[in-house]
Amino acid sequence: MTRVLLGQSYFLHFDPKLWQAMQPYPPLGTLYAASYLRERGHEVGLFDAMLSASEDEWAAALDRQRPDVAVIFEDNFNYLSKMCLLRMREAGLRMIEMARERGCPIVVCGADATDHPDIYLGHGAAFVIRGEGEVTLAELLDALASPASRPLAEVPGLIFRDAAGQLVDTGARPPLRDLDTLPFPAWDLVDVDRYRSAWARHGRFSMNMVTTRGCPFHCNWCAKPIWGQRHAVRSPANVVAELEWLRATWGPEHISFVDDIFGLKPGWLREFADLVRGRNAVTPFKCLNRADLLLRDGEVEALRDAGCDMVWMGAESGSQKILDAMDKGTQVEQIREAAARLRAAGIRFGFFLQFGYPGEDRSDIEATRRLVRDCQPDDIGISVSYPLPGTPFYERVRMELGAKRNWSDSADLAMLYRGPFSTRFYRRLHTVVHKEYRLRRAAGTVAPIAHVARAVRRPGSREALGRMRDALTLPLDQLVLAGMARLERSSARSG
> In sequence order, what DSSP letters do the residues of 316-372 get, joined into one string?
E-S-HHHHHHTT----HHHHHHHHHHHHHTT-EEEEEEEE--TT--HHHHHHHHHHH
Longest CA–CA separation in the chain, Å: 79
CA distances from 369 to 351, 361, 482, 489, 494 (A): 11, 13, 14, 20, 28
Strands (E), 202-291: 206-209, 212-214, 231-233, 254-257, 285-289
- Residue 76: name the closest of 135, 132, 36, 14 by CA: 132
Cα(402)–Cα(60) distance, integer angstroms: 37
Number of Cα atoms under 13 Å in the Cβ half of residue 113: 36
Cα(418)–Cα(398) distance, integer angstroms: 10
Please tell me the predicted confidence (pLDDT) of residue 82: 74
Please tell me the predicted confidence (pLDDT) of residue 494: 56
Please tell me the predicted confidence (pLDDT) of residue 295: 98
Whether 209 is covered by a domain: the verdict is no
Whether 424 is covered by a domain: the verdict is no
Cα(29)–Cα(262) distance, integer angstroms: 17
Q: Residue 321: how many CB atoms within 10 A of its CB?
A: 16
Whether 122 is covered by a domain: the verdict is yes
Coil, strand or helix at 209: strand
CA distances from 100 to 126, 139, 204, 409, 448 (A): 9, 22, 41, 27, 59
Structural domains in the chain (count) = 1
Cα(242)–Cα(248) distance, integer angstroms: 10
Please tell me the predicted confidence (pLDDT) of residue 493: 60
Whether 193 is covered by a domain: the verdict is no
Kindly state the DSSP code that residue 410 receives in the 8-state scheme. Answer: T
Whether 242 is covered by a domain: the verdict is no
What residues make up the domain containing 147? 3-169
Q: Residue 168: how many CB atoms within 10 A of its CB?
A: 13
What CATH number corresponds to the domain at position 165?
3.40.50.280
Sequence-distant (6+) residues with CB within 8 A of 378 are 310, 348, 349, 350
Please tell me the predicted confidence (pLDDT) of residue 478: 97
Whether 308 is covered by a domain: the verdict is no
Please tell me the predicted confidence (pLDDT) of residue 21: 96
Whether 64 is covered by a domain: the verdict is yes
- Residue 94: name the closest of 7, 213, 209 by CA: 7
Q: What is the pLDDT along the chain (495 residues), one digit of tens a residue?
A: 899 999 999 999 999 999 999 999 999 999 999 999 999 999 999 999 999 999 999 999 999 999 999 999 999 999 888 778 999 999 999 999 999 999 999 999 999 999 999 999 999 999 999 999 999 999 999 999 998 889 999 999 999 999 999 999 999 999 999 999 999 999 999 999 999 999 999 999 999 999 999 999 999 999 888 888 889 999 999 999 999 999 999 999 999 999 999 999 999 999 999 999 999 999 999 999 999 999 999 999 999 999 999 999 999 999 999 999 999 999 999 999 999 999 999 999 999 999 999 999 999 999 999 999 999 999 999 999 999 999 999 999 999 998 899 999 999 999 999 999 999 999 999 999 999 999 999 999 999 999 999 999 999 999 999 999 999 999 999 999 999 999 998 666 655
- Residue 352: name the closest of 327, 373, 379, 322 by CA: 379
Whether 453 is covered by a domain: the verdict is no
- Residue 431: name the closest of 396, 374, 462, 475 by CA: 475
Model pTM score: 0.96
